[in-house]
Amino acid sequence: MHPNPLFRSEDQDLLDRLVSEVSFGMVFLTTPDGPRVAHAPMLTYGTDDIRFHLARGNALTKHLDGARALITVNGPDGYVSPRWYDNRDTVPTWDYAALVLEGTVERLSDDNLETLLHDVITTFEGRIEGEPWLASESSERVWSGLFKGITGFSLKVEERRPTFKLSQKKNPVERARIAAGVEAYGNAGLAHWMREFEA
């Protein structure tokens, strides 16, 4: 979390929206073999329950159940040029939206893992235009092979550490110019969050 309190938020809806929009994060844990990280798609189930799955062979899988872990969800980020400032006698910066979630991890039952897989498919197929792919299109052999190769987990969120560093130190006119600049530079996602997160 950035040390400047200006870049924090206690808005639970905003934090949940970041997780839902990104739907992908990094799971961190210190294992007997040292610190490890895994990347995984993830969904929220209520305010304090983040669910994900990992390959059974992942370095974290055998250590997560019952452990205290971190998940980071990184939203859009990007370079901010002084050319968009009122005063160009300064230095560039990097704006970003990110959330660190800390809590205890529990292994999911097979039934809950099955639900998670169907929810993941429904969620992401729903974001693509056209006729969705359905889990029922997988043969029993393919689906059961997938199921045997993964483990599902739930992180029960106990702490949230957000950072929304989105040029809040600048005046509204400058912020609008920065958002337009990063959007023109090809970063519409960052511009969107700058406009959404008003200081």
Phi first, then psi: what are they for 130, rounded to 5°? 100, -175
Q: Are 162 and 73 in contact (CB under 8 A)?
A: no
User: In the chain, what is the straight-line distance between the N-terminal and C-terminal CA atoms, in Å?
Assistant: 17
Q: What pLDDT, on a 0 to 100 scale, did the predictor assign at position 199?
A: 47
- Which domains, and CATH codes, for the chain? 5-196 (2.30.110.10)
Quickly state the pLDDT bin for 198 (edges 50, 70, 90): low
Instruction: State mean pLDDT over 13-27.
Output: 94
- Other beta carbons within 10 angstroms of residue 68's beta carbon come to 14
Quickly state the pLDDT bin for 53 (edges 50, 70, 90): very high
pTM value is 0.92
Q: What pLDDT, on a 0 to 100 scale, did the predictor assign at position 197?
A: 73
pLDDT tens for 84-104 read 999 999 999 999 999 999 999
Q: What pLDDT, on a 0 to 100 scale, did the predictor assign at position 124?
A: 96
pLDDT tens for 21-50 read 999 999 999 999 999 999 999 999 988 999
Crossing angle between the packed helical segments 140-148 and 110-125, to the nearest 10 degrees: 110
Q: What pLDDT, on a 0 to 100 scale, did the predictor assign at position 1?
A: 74
Q: Are 89 and 115 in contact (CB under 8 A)?
A: no
